[in-house]
Amino acid sequence: MAAPVNTLKQKLAAGQLQTGCWLGLVDPYAAEIAGTAGFDWLLIDGEHGPNGITQISNQIGALQNSDSEVIVRVPVGEDWIIKQVLDAGAQTVMVPMVETGDQAQAMVRAMRYAPEGVRGVGAALGRASGWMGIADYTTTANGQMCLIVQVEAQRALDNLDDILAVEGVDAVFIGPADLAADMGYLGNPDAPEVQAAMEDAVKRIRASGKAAGIMCVDPEFARKAIGWGANFAAVAVDALTLATGLRKTAAAYKD
């Protein structure tokens, strides 16, 4: 028995538009509810959400029966945390703040067992192998790993061609807020200079044959970004959806 097929990896490689939701509520029950919504993918956020490896693992478990593909954003691009989320069952990982081709290559290697990489072999302890119920997991897992790197600074844009040249990077995700801040437009990703930089990056990413991702919870911006060619679109955040809905309901009874 081989490692499960990563259908998100396949769909992104085929250029299909995949829309999804960020999960930052740090709760398996909330994640399970999100898993019924019908998004193409759900991302468990370990960078800005207060998620430790136990909470991440519990949410992956809660989403096992969902049709939405599971992604984990690690807090930092380090071998040890990537190893842990992969063993917990993630096949797709997003790494923040990747700024060079060398960094991207290191993340590819962190996602794979030797000789292609440096991922530690401890599958017997992990959900990924079904606790060794998937007999051929370690020999087939490498081909199902999907790596998304985040471009969030001018230095990353300057090195974008080097990042795109790295085999094993499946998608490049643009973070508008961090990019705007690094470009001198903190809190203003709508600045024409930032918009132009993002549009150029999306088009270059897609021209390279990789998927182009972007955070676009505003519907108008989502339509614009998808028009540029973005095919991995974050269109919702669970915490914002909850906050907005509760505030709207509360306000309705204040009049």
- Residue 48 annotated to the active site: yes
Which residues, in sequence order, are CB contacts of 221 under 8 Å at separation 6+?
none
User: How far is the C-alpha of 222 from the C-alpha of 155, rounded, in Å?
Assistant: 25
Encoded tokens for 121: 């072999």
Which residues, in sequence order, are CB contacts of 159 under 8 Å at separation 6+?
99, 100, 101
Name the residue among 146, 145, 151 with its Cα closest to residue 100.
Answer: 151
Residue of 2, 10, 48, 114 marked active site = 48
User: How far is the C-alpha of 29 from the C-alpha of 93, rounded, in Å?
Assistant: 22
Contact 136, 81 (CB under 8 A): no
Encoded tokens for 58: 């519990």
Which residues, in sequence order, are CB contacts of 112 under 8 Å at separation 6+?
118, 119, 141, 142, 145, 168
The string of DSSP letters for 219-243 reads HHHHHHHHHHT--EEEEEEHHHHHH
User: How far is the C-alpha of 11 from the C-alpha of 18, rounded, in Å?
Assistant: 8
Residues marked as catalytic: 48
